Amino acid sequence: MARLVVLGGGVAGHTTATFAAKWLGSQHEVVVVTPNAKWNWIPSNIWVGVGQMTKEEVTFDLAPVYAKAGITYHQAKAVSLNPEGSESSDKPFVTIEYTSADKAGQSETIEYDYIVNATGPKLNFGATPGLGEGSELGEHTVSVCTADHAVHASEKLQEAIEKMKGGTRQKFLVGTGHGMCTCQGAAFEYIFNIEHELRKAGVRDMADIKWISNESFLGDFGMGGLHMKVGGYVVSSKLFAESLFAERDVDWLIGAHTSKVENGKIEYELLDGSTGEEEFDFAMLIPPFAGVGLKAYNKAGEDITDTVFAPNGFMKVDANYSAGAYENWKASDWPRTYQNPTYSNMFAAGIAFAPPHIISKPMSSPNGTPINPTPPRTGMPSGIIGKAVAHSVCDLIKKGDNAHLHEASMAEMGAACVASAGKGVFDGTAAAMTVYPVVPDFEKYPGTGRDTDYTFGEIGLAGHWIKHILHYLFIYKAKLSPGWTLIPE
């Protein structure tokens, strides 16, 4: 019997574990280690953050789902990897620390034959002074990164609305809280959902709403922007985004690194090297992401973390990490199998893998401060990668070490994104976009880097309904309800 250990129970980890358990059956063991008791459909946290959904509508308990699937579940966080075993055993193992109430703080080791790192990101609030400490949100801003954060954000939003109803003008600041952030899309959705809710509440005229982002232009989204077909015409995401911001009367500040957060005020540095301050009454600033901090040790107990992980804490995979300058970057630099180059029984999926470089053009201020989005690896790509990795591991277990590894390069992968711009049965809107490929390939598609026949977008009520339906569809799939394997990632 072989044992596959999956670290993380988010989109990538849950996808990997559930498909592996189905394909391997009871002949082999699948183990999931995740510090969370509940699964969270993170894209819908933005609706929780404006009071349009409850925490219960975007989460469910993991234990009964894994029990149904025959998956061994440990509510714990992974602490370290020993891919060569120890001096007393050749069997590789992972050390975990329990987070469940009954065993909190207890440590244990789990031996494995194969391991998939799908730990997702550490929410690195501590990277910006005043934004938080470590992975904990600070007191000056709100967040929609977790369901609990989103509940708190909704409460603060309602307080701001009540102040406006009482005649006190409020300033809203939404965007990125550091020069190296990703997930501009989540902040993009949240700012327009706030704007929508303020109009519904009849207080839009009492609000000033401003976007702050590390993007060098609106609509970069960490993908270097894109050109897409809209209404039969090819337009840039820059024009698409600027039109929406202007239509909703939302101001913007781009190319900005938030360098400090205080009560009601932030300090920032721009790409031109200038600095400034921005005041706010309500702020939601996305933190930068980092690896969760896993350590690695060899058979002698020596630290080999730098061998297994990149400096940002994400796991090294089959990518070209020596591409060098921006002019040398190619789509082929991106990983295909997500197998660790040093230890063939280790893989990474979703946000946990270390990208070879960013997708957007690297930028920095004259002071040397990097100000550019880091690559998005959430949502659909995470699920596709997780499923491909599950395929590979299952084939290695069943067919042996020479089995063909399945591939899912983000430079050959299309992705659909539905960005909400306000929730409502009849007045909701969302921008529905498809991008192919996610990582642009300028050799194959000169000029734009993408196939404009498969890169298109529309905004309107239909997009909102698509996002609303997808919410229920993906929770249905994640619960392993009948026919779940037929629903695409």
Cα-only R_g, the chain: 22
Residue 160, pLDDT > 80, answer yes
> Which pLDDT belongs to residue 468?
95
Write phi, then psi, for 160 (nearest 5 degrees).
-65, -40
pLDDT tens-digit readout, 245-304: 999 999 999 999 999 999 999 999 999 999 999 999 999 999 999 999 999 999 999 999
The pLDDT, as a whole number, for residue 436 is 95
Q: What predicted TM-score, i.e. pTM, was given to this entire model? A: 0.96
Task: Write the pLDDT tens digit of every residue in 2-44.
Answer: 999 999 999 999 999 999 999 999 999 999 999 999 999 999 9
Closest alpha carbon to 429 in 471, 460, 457, 456 = 460
- Give percent above pLDDT 90 in the chain: 94
pLDDT in the model for residue 331:
97
DSSP state of 393: H
Model confidence at 184: pLDDT above 80: yes
Q: Each residue of 335-389: pLDDT tens digit?
A: 999 999 999 999 999 999 999 999 999 999 999 999 999 988 888 999 999 999 9
Determine if the peptide bond prior to 437 is cis (ω within 30°).
yes
pLDDT at 230: 79
Say if residue 325 is exposed, middle or buried (CB neighbours under 10 Å; 0-12, 13-18, 19+). exposed
3-state helix, strand, coil in the chain (%, to 5): 30, 25, 45
Residue owning tokens 């630099």: 333
CA distance 223 to 276: 27
**What's the rounded Cα separation, in Å, for the pair 405 and 408?**
10
The mean per-residue pLDDT over the stretch 453-457 comes to 88
Q: Give the model confidence (pLDDT) of 401-425 as tens digits.
A: 999 999 999 999 999 999 999 999 9
Distance CA(220)–CA(435), nearest Å, equals 13
Q: What is the reported pLDDT for 31?
A: 98
Q: Which tens digit of pLDDT belongs to each residue from 33-65?
A: 999 999 999 999 999 999 999 999 999 999 999
- Could you tell me if residue 216 is left (phi over 0), alpha (psi between -120 and 50 degrees) or otherwise beta? alpha
Distance in angstroms (rounded) separating the CA atoms of residues 14 and 10: 6
pLDDT in the model for residue 379 = 86
Task: Look at residue 456 in the predicted model and tell me its pLDDT.
Answer: 87
What does the DSSP 8-state code read for residue 318? Answer: S
H-helix segments, 10-146? 11-24, 45-48, 55-58, 62-69
Q: What is the pLDDT of residues 248-263, one digit of tens each?
A: 999 999 999 999 999 9
pLDDT band at 457 (very low <50, low <70, confident <90, very high): confident
Burial grade of 368 (CB within 10 A; 0-12, 13-18, 19 or more):
exposed
In whole angstroms, give the CA distance from residue 410 to residue 431. Answer: 22
